[in-house]
A and B are shown apart, each in its own frame.
Chain A
Amino acid sequence: MTLAPAPPLLELDGYSLQRMVTADLPFVLDLHRTGANRLLVDLPASPEESLAFLQRLEKQPWSVLVVARSNGVPIGAAATGLTNLVSLNTFLLAMFVDPGAASIPLALVTRHLFWNFPLERVYVQFPLVDETGPYGQLYESVGFQREGVMRKHQAIGGERHDVIVLGLLRADFDSWWALKDPRLKL
């Protein structure tokens, strides 16, 4: 991350995506403490370690590290996690203040990924508990498909929970947005 001001990467209907900068760290840390977000992204405990974690993500090939804004107000953050340059897929880490109102910014994130890199697939995995329910709906609202459940893979508070897997193929993205909102089509 840099200290330079970040111009928007994409803008639509008052939402924008901007590259994450160091000044965004307090927002990202607060966001992580909001709702179910701690269950989605395994950020280290201290701000220093979290910054180092994000900087490691940024150094990965085809890295994307962005903050989503609504009319200038930060409402979410997203990053590519593990990216496989052979199989052309990436694991998406995303958190929002209100996942129920984040379809457009999440669509901008996935569009940015498919537009800029020859990715075949973007996927997410998170524990299937009541708190994360809105995220399942969010991902499905932008074309992700449920691909199954990894049984009892995630330990939370001493109990093991199922982990849902959702995937978005490049072809899914195109066909989804061609029907829903052609402005987002590649």
Chain B
Amino acid sequence: MSAASGVDPFPSLRGTWVTLEAFSSANSREVDALDARRALLPQMGGLRPARTATGRYGPLMLIRDNRSGSAVGTVESDEMIGYPGVAVLIVFADPELSRPGYGMEATALYVPSLFERGAEILHLEVLSFNREMIRILGRRHRPPDVRMRRHAYVGGHFWDLLMYGFDRDEMEAIIGDYRRVLPGGSRRIAALGSGRQPRP
């Protein structure tokens, strides 16, 4: 993905706690620093992501803390190889910089745009030792759809890879539940600038 163009075709998305900003030359250094931190986390696979292309259904976006203005994570997606219409979602909320709920809010802000851009199924993958994520998904959804045994070698061990799939209705129900527990109740999450009136 080129950050040099400076063009931001994807609107920033503002929530209660975080704002998502499309990757650009303005935040590329912050994304790079987050990528370096992410590479040290086993639950993110322990690899520094290759930033080469924009996702099929949405761009890489920076998660920024509304209160402090700090960059605290990234959210991104791309089409699953061999499965047109399936968007793989990757959310990284830095455990030291982020706060509980930030990752979920970033997901709730980001995911609707994936379906609007043509994704039909959202696909999540979680390593089996990532108990926090499994607990969150278990509480809000169901057990994993697939357990690929010993599929990932991370941190010197083979781990199972758990896979979850959601269609649009399921995801909207989950996000709806999430919105109700936000401060302010069922306030809708909106793109920055979406309230502007069109020019006459």
Q: What residues of chain A have their CB less than 8 Å away from a CB belonging to chain B?
A: 42, 82, 86-89, 120-121, 123, 145, 147-155, 160, 163, 165, 167, 169
Tell me the complex Cα distance, A14–B167, Å.
Answer: 47
A87 is contacted by which of B121, B151, B165 (Cβ under 8 Å)? B151
Tell whether, in the assembled complex, residue A148 and residue B147 are in contact, meaning their CB atoms are under 8 Å apart. Answer: yes
Closest to B152 in A: A87
Interface of chain B, helix or strand or loop or mixed? strand
Tell whether, in the assembled complex, residue B85 and residue A150 are in contact, meaning their CB atoms are under 8 Å apart. Answer: no
User: Nearest Cβ in chain B — how far from A89, in angstroms?
Assistant: 6
A147 is contacted by which of B84, B123, B149 (Cβ under 8 Å)? B149
Question: What residues of A have a CB within 8 angstroms of the CB of B152 in the complex?
Answer: 87
Question: What residues of B have a CB within 8 angstroms of the CB of A123 in the complex?
Answer: 148, 151
Tell whether, in the assembled complex, residue A169 and residue B150 are in contact, meaning their CB atoms are under 8 Å apart. Answer: yes
User: Nearest Cβ in chain B — how far from A158, in angstroms?
Assistant: 11
Q: Which of A42, A123, A151, A154 has the largest count of B CB atoms less than 10 A from its CB?
A: A151
* Known A148-B163, A153-B121, A153-B123; contact A86-B149, beta-carbon cutoff 8 A: no
Closest to A81 in B: B82
Judge whether B120 is part of the interface by a CB distance below 8 angstroms: yes
Tell whether, in the assembled complex, residue A151 and residue B158 are in contact, meaning their CB atoms are under 8 Å apart. Answer: no
Interface size of B by Cβ–Cβ distance < 8 Å?
24
Contact mask B29-69 → A, CB, 8 Å, 1/0?
00000000000000000000000000000000000000000
* Known A42-B82, A86-B153, A155-B84; contact A147-B147, beta-carbon cutoff 8 A: yes
Tell whether, in the assembled complex, residue B153 and residue A121 are in contact, meaning their CB atoms are under 8 Å apart. Answer: no
Tell whether, in the assembled complex, residue B145 and residue A151 are in contact, meaning their CB atoms are under 8 Å apart. Answer: yes
User: Nearest Cβ in chain B — how far from A154, in angstroms?
Assistant: 7
Closest to A87 in B: B153
User: Nearest Cβ in chain B — how far from A155, in angstroms?
Assistant: 6
Tell me the complex Cα distance, A166–B82, Å.
Answer: 17
Question: What residues of A have a CB within 8 angstroms of the CB of B148 in the complex?
Answer: 123, 147-148, 165, 167
Judge whether B93 is part of the interface by a CB distance below 8 angstroms: no
Tell me the complex Cα distance, A4–B144, Å.
Answer: 47
Tell me the complex Cα distance, A143–B168, Å.
Answer: 36
Question: What residues of B have a CB within 8 angstroms of the CB of A120 in the complex?
Answer: 150, 153, 158
Tell whether, in the assembled complex, residue B121 and residue A160 are in contact, meaning their CB atoms are under 8 Å apart. Answer: yes
Question: What residues of A have a CB within 8 angstroms of the CB of B145 in the complex?
Answer: 148-151
Tell me the complex Cα distance, A175–B83, Å.
Answer: 33
Within 8 A of A (CB), among B100-130: 120-121, 123
Tell whether, in the assembled complex, residue B123 and residue A89 are in contact, meaning their CB atoms are under 8 Å apart. Answer: no
Question: What residues of B have a CB within 8 angstroms of the CB of A145 in the complex?
Answer: 149
30 of the cross-chain contacts (CB-CB < 8 Å) are A42-B82, A87-B151, A87-B152, A87-B153, A87-B158, A121-B150, A123-B148, A123-B151, A147-B148, A148-B147, A149-B145, A149-B146, A150-B145, A150-B146, A151-B145, A151-B167, A152-B120, A152-B121, A152-B165, A153-B80, A153-B86, A153-B121, A153-B165, A155-B85, A155-B120, A160-B85, A165-B163, A167-B148, A169-B149, A169-B150
Tell me the complex Cα distance, A120–B85, Å.
Answer: 30
Tell whether, in the assembled complex, residue A154 and residue B83 are in contact, meaning their CB atoms are under 8 Å apart. Answer: yes
User: Nearest Cβ in chain B — how far from A124, in angstroms?
Assistant: 11
- Other contacts beyond A149-B145, A155-B84: 8, CB < 8 A: A121-B149, A147-B147, A148-B145, A148-B147, A152-B167, A153-B121, A153-B123, A160-B85
